[in-house]
Amino acid sequence: MDKNKIAVVDYNNYTSGDPEKRKDFIKEFGDSFSNMGFAIVRNHGVSEELKAKLFEVSKAFFALPDDVKKSYEDEANHGQRGYISKNKESAKGKDVPDLKEFYHVGQTVTDNDPIQSEYPDNIWPDVIAEFEAVGQEVYQTFENTGRNLLRATALYLGLDEEYFDSRIHNGNSILRLLHYYPVQDKSQIPEGAVRAAAHGDINLITLLMGGSAEGLQAQSLDGQWIPVSPAHDEIVVNIGDMLARLTNNRFRSTQHQVITPNEESWTKPRYSTPFFLHPRSDMDLSCLPDCVTAENPKEYSDMTAGEFLTERLIELGLKKA
Q: Is residue 184 part of a domain?
A: yes
Residues of the domain holding 212: 8-315
β-pair type (270-277, 225-227):
unpaired
β-pair type (38-42, 8-10):
parallel
**What integer pLDDT is reported at residue 276 of this predicted model?**
96
Looking at residue 92, what is its pLDDT? 64
d(CA 37, CA 221): 10
**What is the crossing angle of helices 19-35 and 131-156, to 10°?**
90
Q: Taking the CA of residue 192 as centre, how many other CA atoms within 13 Å lie in the half-sphere pointing to its CB?
A: 8
Q: Chain-centre distance of CA 43, in angstroms?
A: 18
Contact of 196 with 262, CB cutoff 8 Å: no
pLDDT in tens, 166-221: 999 999 999 999 998 877 666 566 665 555 656 778 999 999 987 645 678 888 88
Low-confidence stretches of the chain (pLDDT < 50) are 212
Kindly give, in sequence order, each residue whose CB lies less than 8 Å from that of residue 43, ignoring residues fewer than 6 positions away.
10, 11, 12
HEC profile of 9-47: EEHHHHHCCCHHHHHHHHHHHHHHHHHCCEEEEECCCCC
Whole-angstrom Cα distance, residue 119 to residue 106?
Answer: 8
Instruction: Judge contact between 184 and 316, C-beta under 8 A.
Output: no
Residue 299, pLDDT score: 95
How many domains is the chain partitioned into structurally?
1
Q: Does the residue 134 lie in any domain?
A: yes
The pTM assigned to this predicted structure is 0.90
Q: What is the pLDDT of residue 189?
A: 62
* 321 in a structural domain: no
Residues 16 and 295: their CA atoms lie apart, in Å, by 37
Supply the pLDDT for residue 64: 97
pLDDT tens digits, 20-54: 999 999 999 999 999 989 999 999 888 889 999 99
Contact 85, 66 (CB under 8 A): yes
Question: What is the distance between the alpha carbons of residues 245 and 253, in angstroms, rounded to a whole number?
Answer: 9
Domain of 205: which CATH number? 2.60.120.330
Q: d(Cα 73, Cα 70) in Å, to the nearest integer?
A: 5
In a domain, 62, yes or no: yes
